[in-house]
Structure 1
Amino acid sequence: MANDGIDLGRRGFLTGRRPSRPEAIRPPWSRAASVAAACTGCGTCVPACPQNIIVLDNDGRPALSFGAGECTFCGACAETCPEPVFDRSIAAFPHIAAIGADCFARRDIVCQSCGDACLETAIRFRPRLGGPALPEIASDRCNGCGACIAACPAQAIAVGARPSEAAHA
């Protein structure tokens, strides 16, 4: 509620505005445009995923839930899909991990769970005086698999846009 006493939730309802939903993270080798254009919502990719990280979003389209685990890039989702949703010629993910302010290390609590989970060694820890080492993401090494997201006890890691200089690599 704002300081002026207006209930923005009710105001939005009465004016027909919908709250914006965060963009869903799509399975590897798919993009929002290909999912919107070709996905029928059949859900065959959901049971095909051995990591059980593919779920159907509110619109019945595949999305990733990294809280349950990481993407191993096995390709089972792409192989089982009967529609042209997946394109294995493009990069698997257009995102990389991003560490937020809730990170334990940033709050002076020693934690390196994300670095331990990262098989690509994309998370390095920068030493600092008077506190635990701070995690940093090497954008050129992060493949966007989500292993660090699942491992973070503070739930401080999300996905963010890949920097443009690394996106062309």
Structure 2
Amino acid sequence: MAVSLARRAFLRSGKPLASEHRPPWTGEDFVDACVRCGDCINACPEGILQKGDGGFPQIHFNHDGCTFCQECVHACDEPVFDLARDAFQWRAGIRDNCLAKAGIHCQSCQDACDTEAISFRYSVGQVPRPEVDAGSCTGCGACVAVCPQDAIDLVVPEHERVNEQTVITDKG
């Protein structure tokens, strides 16, 4: 069963934990290792790293996704980033409020997905419906940034769940 971090944030008066939206290639020790200098935020060319909860850098897919340029890694002097890790544990998941699931032609998520992890299945007499190949999805958030319905969650698969951090839903 998926745990909604948006719901948890609501129950905490809307404040997400810094570790829920942490930068790529960081782990559970992120909050302990980060000195909140902002160097990674300033280095991010996409502007997806922003000062967040407690001054920690947090990732927000408001306008763009992560290109994995590693500028944040190179800008940081602390032992925060580890390129041996996957950049993100989460993968795209499409909610029921998706326009295509409501019978409206929309494929903006597929168009934004460089790895082609999102495809649309065609059926006779129906609008194509989205499918996500979790094995191809990098969790970059490009699909989240372009979705007109905010219908894409970033979900940590069951086998990779750590501390019940399961769903990242907000764009910032």
Give per-residue Cα distances to partners, 1:73-110, cap 9 Å, x unaligned.
Answer: 01010111111110011111111111111100111111
Of the three residues 31, 34, 37, the one matched with 2:29 is 34
Measured in 1, the distance between the counterparts of 2:52 and 2:82 equals: 20
Could you say which residue in structure 1 is the equivalent of 2:21?
25
Offset of 1:58 from its aligned partner? Answer: 1.9
Of the three residues 111, 122, 132, the one matched with 2:117 is 122
Of the three residues 70, 75, 91, the one matched with 1:96 is 91
Offset of 1:131 from its aligned partner? Answer: 2.6
Could you say which residue in structure 2 is the equivalent of 1:132?
127
Could you say which residue in structure 2 is the equivalent of 1:82?
77
Equivalent residues, number: 148
Gaps of 5+ in 1: 1-16
Instruction: Specify the SS of the correspondent of 2:29.
Output: helix
Measured in 1, the distance between the counterparts of 2:146 and 2:86 equals: 24
Q: TM (normalized to structure 2)? A: 0.79
Q: Do the aligned residues in 2 keep the contact of 1:104 with 1:110 (CA within 8 Å)?
A: yes
Structure number with higher relative contact order (C-alpha < 8 Å, ≥ 6 residues apart):
2
Identity between Structure 1 and Structure 2 (%): 42
Could you say which residue in structure 2 is the equivalent of 1:11?
none
Whether 2:107 is the aligned partner of 1:112: answer yes
Letter of the structure 2 residue corresponding to residue 115 of structure 1:
Q
Letter of the structure 1 residue corresponding to residue 21 of structure 2:
I
The Cα RMSD (Å) is 1.8
Gaps of 5+ in 2: 1-10, 161-172
Measured in 1, the distance between the counterparts of 2:32 and 2:42 equals: 22
Offset of 1:22 from its aligned partner? Answer: 4.5
Q: TM (normalized to structure 1)? A: 0.81
Describe the shift of the 1:102–1:92 C-alpha distance in structure 2 as closer, same or farther (beyond 3 A).
Answer: same
Describe the shift of the 1:96–1:61 C-alpha distance in structure 2 as closer, same or farther (beyond 3 A).
Answer: same
Whether 2:57 is the aligned partner of 1:62: answer yes
Whether 2:39 is the aligned partner of 1:44: answer yes
Give the number of the structure whose alpha-carbon radius of gyration is greater: 1
